[in-house]
């Protein structure tokens, strides 16, 4: 939608390498590749506005097993956070649309909560989320669906589960400690190791 404002498009194939990456490098590449006349800030703002507009017309169904895993962790007073490449407004909008906002109040953005150029695939956003929880990233279990996200969690020292993105399966899962088919599998593994 944002690119259409400038008469541009991006194919699904061309988008794949950017899944999970920080917003600024994504828009810098597109600005250069597509000769976009807007500033990076304008493009970021337009994307957030468009994303939130789309969320107002739809809801997001959490992946099977997510609610069970979240409730299981909360019942055991295990802290939960979101470590995302997205801007805070997009994180909040997504969690709200999925009915998860009230369950996961701690969110860290690779766009706003870490230094410039330190978003995913760097581990800084995971370190920021762990610090907000009052623990070390090495004591965290991370669930990711993209190679970029797995690299970030691995860089931070987290134990990394990969639940491959169904629309854009990652080609490289070598940064995951364990690859599973679903969030229900993550829940089963967590129950098995933590009771």
pTM here is 0.84
CA distances from 88 to 92, 103, 195 (A): 6, 16, 33
Residue 195 has pLDDT above 80, yes or no: no
CA distance 103 to 64: 16
Other Cβ atoms within 10 Å of 134 Cβ, number: 8
**% of the chain surpassing 70 pLDDT:** 99
- Quick: pLDDT tens for 54-78: 888 877 899 899 999 999 999 999 9
Ranges of beta strands (E only) in the chain are 81-84, 106-109, 141-144, 159-162, 178-179
> DSSP code of 138?
G
CA distance 7 to 15: 17
Chain segment 102-148, per-residue pLDDT in tens: 999 999 999 899 988 898 999 999 999 999 999 999 999 999 999 99
Residue 5: DSSP 8-state:
G
Q: Name 118's Cβ contacts closer than 8 Å, sequence gap at least 6.
A: 110, 124, 125
pLDDT of residue 153 exceeding 80:
yes
Average pLDDT along the chain: 92
Instruction: Give me the mean pLDDT over the 169-189 stretch.
Output: 94
Please report the pLDDT score of residue 92 as a whole number. 94
């Amino acid at each position: 939608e944002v690119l259409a404002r400038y008469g541009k498009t991006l194919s699904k194939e061309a988008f794949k390498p950017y899944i999970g990456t920080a917003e600024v490098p994504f828009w810098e590449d597109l600005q250069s590749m597509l000769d976009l006349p807007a500033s990076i800030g304008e493009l970021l703002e337009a994307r957030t506005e468009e994303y939130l507009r789309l969320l107002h017309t739809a809801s997001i169904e959490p992946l099977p097993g997510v609610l069970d895993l979240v409730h299981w962790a909360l019942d055991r007073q295990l802290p939960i956070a979101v470590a995302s490449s997205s801007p805070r407004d997009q994180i909040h909008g997504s969690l709200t649309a999925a009915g998860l906002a009230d369950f996961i109040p701690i969110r860290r953005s690779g766009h706003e909560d870490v230094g410039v150029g330190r978003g995913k695939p760097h581990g800084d956003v995971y370190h920021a989320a762990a610090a907000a929880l009052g623990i070390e990233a090495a004591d965290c279990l991370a669930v990711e669906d993209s190679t970029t996200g797995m690299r970030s969690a691995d860089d931070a020292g987290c134990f990394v589960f990969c639940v491959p993105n169904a629309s854009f399966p990652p080609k490289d899962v070598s940064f995951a400690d364990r690859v599973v088919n679903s969030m229900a599998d993550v829940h089963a593994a967590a129950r098995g190791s933590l009771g």
